[in-house]
Chains A and B, each alone.
Chain A
Amino acid sequence: MQTDFKKRISQSIAFWTFRILSLIVMGVLFSILGFIFVKGIGVVNWDFITQMPEDGMTKGGIYPAIIGTLCLISGSMLFAFPIGVMSGIYIYEYTKDSWYRKFVQLMTSNLAGVPSIVFGLFGMALFVNKLGFGDSILAGSLTLGLLALPVVIRTTEEALKAIDKSYREASYALGGTKLQTIRRVTLPMALPNIITGLILSIGRVSGETAPILFTVAAYFLPKLPTSIFDQVMALPYHLYVISTSGTNINESRGMAYGTAVVLILIVLILNIIANLIRRFLSKKYKTN
């Protein structure tokens, strides 16, 4: 009787601890979002997202920064996605489970652990100076792409690992080569999970400031880019500028929150789109 009661008590203590802790985490997330939305939603309107900044960035909109961020997201994904997916395929499908694979995996993890400001410095040294791209969308996208690579590689590997080996065997047994098996069976099956990796890296890339600081981001540039060798404004950097080093920080405080709202919304919308694609694909290739 006594132990039974004790068991029940410890059960419910554990249960409530877990529940309360997870609620706190959610609470923190929602208060951040709520705080930013309440402060910022007032300035977000059609003009804000379609007009150039004016009066030392205290008036007008953030249109060029939105376009800049979208350019950088797509540029970095164009770079990181194919290279990351191919690297992941190579590591999982082509290397044997040996010290070499472990070494490559370790290096990939290390790459993920490098501080983003270091990527920024590296990008400046290599892309901006050495390769002579200058401060440009190209240099910034490549730098951000490098940052996103480990996540894409890792998720590709994990996605391929999750596929039962019986599907590979079935394909080989029918005379399929390794490449045909990857192209026709394993890659399509892994794609939904790979896209999850893409979502994660879009989230990371869109919010990064340090890697673009020395490679692409413009302090104030009220025009749209015309080529990949142009500089652009970007939302995270613009947010930093108008909150800390603008011409009139108090004046632009509201706009800073508005910029944050727009940045969050962009990430949210991209996530929703990627999720829809993922769902469509996993329905198409579901295995049970």
Chain B
Amino acid sequence: MYKIESKNVNLHYGTFHALKGINMSIEKNTVTALIGPSGCGKSTFLRLFNRMNDLIDGVKIEGECLIDGKDIYSKSIKIDELRKRVGMVFQKPNPFPKTIFENVAYGLRVNGITHKNFIEERVEICLKQAALWDEVKDKLKKSAMALSGGQQQRLCIARALAIEPSVLLMDEPASALDPISTAKIEELIYQLKELYTIIIVTHNMQQAGRVSDSTAFFYLGELVEFDSTKKIFTNPSEVRTQNYITGRFG
């Protein structure tokens, strides 16, 4: 069984047809990169899987989105339960104006966990997983706002990991960061693959090439090509993919 599947998904923002019949199947514990020019629908596609598109007025979704074989848009699914299983990291680092500790603990607290020792344990584990522990272990009670952009983004990753999701959605997680922080995030993605199924939206071709197992190329709301990253970057079947990757448009 595939971890994540979309079957003939169509999405409309009002009259705008943003996703056109997308079919995609994603294996467990892999990294899938979504690439394509701005406005091609890749972020919208990513946000299908934690139902973030539901927050926007006038969105209509057709087709099936499955995680572990279950339709996440069916009536029996509770949206906050779903989001507990599907973590998300955003483009701009967006830690809450709270302490470093409380940021990581947030997901646990809103999900009703009050056990102090358990929370402390999880916070430490997640900060270690996000490769941030050594830098912040002495200032957990300090505001997260005092961290650098790269540290904030790793904190956001730790925050997303705290509720033990099985899927991690990343929306251009390194686009606001300097090259050194970007390298750290990429290394992290590589390690996190062991435990999570990751989908990452990126504008950076090299990044897609470095971190992902499969790559999907979106153009004007269509999934043009979806294959192993190696194949996409060396021998794509579609001319449009070829043109985009080599920088001839987009």
Contact = CB atoms under 8 A, between A and B. Distances in A.
B40 interface: no
Contacts of A177: 80, 110
A31 interface: no
Contact of A185 (B81, B96, B145, B156): B96
A82 interface: no
Nearest to B89: A173
B111 interface: yes
A86 B159 CA distance: 29
Interface stretch (B49-57, B118-126, B198-206, B215-223): B49-57
Contacts of A188: 97
B110 A175 contact: yes
Contacts of A172: 52, 55, 83
Contacts, number: 73
Nearest to B82: A175
Interface string A154-178: 0000000000101111111111110
Contacts of B92: 166
B103 to A, nearest CB: 9
A205 interface: no
Interface string B175-191: 00000000000000000
Contacts of A171: 96, 106, 110
B106 A174 contact: yes
B40 to A, nearest CB: 21
Interface string A108-144: 0000000000000000000000000000000000000
Interface of A: 96-97, 164, 166-177, 180, 184-185, 188-189, 284-288
Given A174-B84, A285-B97, A288-B145, 19 more contacts: A97-B57, A164-B94, A168-B55, A169-B94, A170-B94, A170-B95, A172-B55, A173-B50, A173-B52, A174-B110, A174-B111, A174-B160, A175-B81, A175-B163, A180-B110, A184-B109, A286-B97, A286-B143, A287-B97
16 contacts: A96-B57, A166-B94, A170-B90, A170-B94, A171-B106, A173-B83, A173-B160, A174-B106, A174-B159, A174-B162, A175-B111, A175-B163, A176-B110, A180-B110, A184-B109, A286-B145
